[in-house]
Homo-oligomer: A and B are copies of this chain.
Amino acid sequence: MHKEILEDIGEKELINRIRKFVPKNQISDDCALIKTKHENLLINTDSLVENVHFNDITICPEDIGWKAVVSNISDLLSSGSKKTIGVTISLVLPPRTEWIWVEELYKGINKALEEYGGVILGGDCSKGVEKIISITAFGVQGELELRRNACKPGDIILTTGIHGLSKLGFLIKNKINFDNEYSLNKRLIIKSIEHFCRPKVYPNFLNNLLKTRSNKNIKRIGCTDSSDGLFQALQDLAIASNCKAIINYEKMPIDKDWPKGDRWDEYYFFGGEDYELVFSLPKKWAKNLSKLDKNINEIGIFADGEPSIEFKDYKQNKLFNNTPYKHF
C-alpha cells in the first residue's frame, strides 16, 4: 500500500487537512479568539525550529528571542489586539545546549516584551535533538476586528513599510555574495540585517486606523501580516475574503537602493519575515490614512472575482508560477 507522507502532501494541503478536524472559523485566521463576558482575548502560537527557522550561524540567541516575541505580537496586531497581555514559552533544547544560549534568548524575549508590553506568564522546557522555541501570545481584542476574511470588493489594498528586506538580511548573513552582480550599498546592508535580526511591529497602526475612520459603523477590516511573504499575505486575504486582488506593481514601496530584476522581485514578494501589515480599507478611509501616515502605501484594489492575484501593469505570470514560502 502506498504510504502518504507529509513531504508529498505539501504544507498548504497539510494545513487544509488539519483544518477539517477543527470547528469552522476557529483556525482560518492569524489568531484564535476566546470570548469572555467583558472582553475578547486573541491568542497566537508560533514555533521557531532550529535549522528550519533559524540556525546558530545566521542569528544570535538574543535576536531569536526578540524575533520569536515580535512574530507573535505581529499576529496579534494584525487581528486588532489593543494590548499584549503576555506570553507562555515552551522550549525544547538539546542537553548539550550552553546555558548562556538560554540566558541570551530570554534577554531578547524580555527586551521585546519591554518594548511592546506583556509579561512572561509561564512555560515549560523539555529536552530534544534540536532547539525549538514555541511561543503563545495573548492580547486583548480592540474595537476594530482585523480579519483575513473581511476584505470587500472595492476596498483599497494597503501595506505598511517595505518588503523583502528581511530576506536580503538573511541572505547577507548566509554570506551570499552579491558583489559580482550588484553592489549593495552599506546603508541597505545594515538596514536589511536589522530587519532580519530585529524586526519591529508597526507602532501606531491601530491608533491611526481609528483616527482616520470616517464611518464608525465599520468595525471589521481585512488584514494579515507579511510573515510568510507579501504574496502569501495577499493570497490569504483573497482566499479568505473570496475576492480578487489587483496589484499595482509601480506603487509597491521599495527601498530607494533596492536593485531591479526578477530575483529582487522574488525576494520582495516571497521573502517573508518582514512582519509588515497587509490590509484593505474603503476608499475614503484609505486616503485619509495614507495621508496621515507616510509609511503606509496604497498598492492595489480588491475586486469581484475568483480568489486570485492579478498585476495591473506587470508581467505577472512569472511571479505567479513561483512557489510561495513553504516549510514541507
Contact = CB atoms under 8 A, between A and B. Distances in A.
Interface residues of A, number: 70
A110 B120 CA distance: 29
Main DSSP-derived SS at the A contact region: mixed
B127 A327 contact: yes
A47 B124 contact: yes
Given A21-B120, A32-B122, A99 B45 contact: no
Contacts of A176: none
A315 interface: no
B21 A93 contact: no
A3 B138 contact: no
A120 B22 contact: yes
A90 B68 CA distance: 14
A327 B126 contact: yes
A29 to B, nearest CB: 8
Contact of A125 (B14, B122, B123): B14
B32 A88 contact: yes
A259 interface: no
Contact of A41 (B36, B109, B123): B36
Interface in A100-145: 100, 102-103, 106, 109-110, 119-130, 132, 134, 136, 138
A46 B124 contact: yes
A57 interface: no
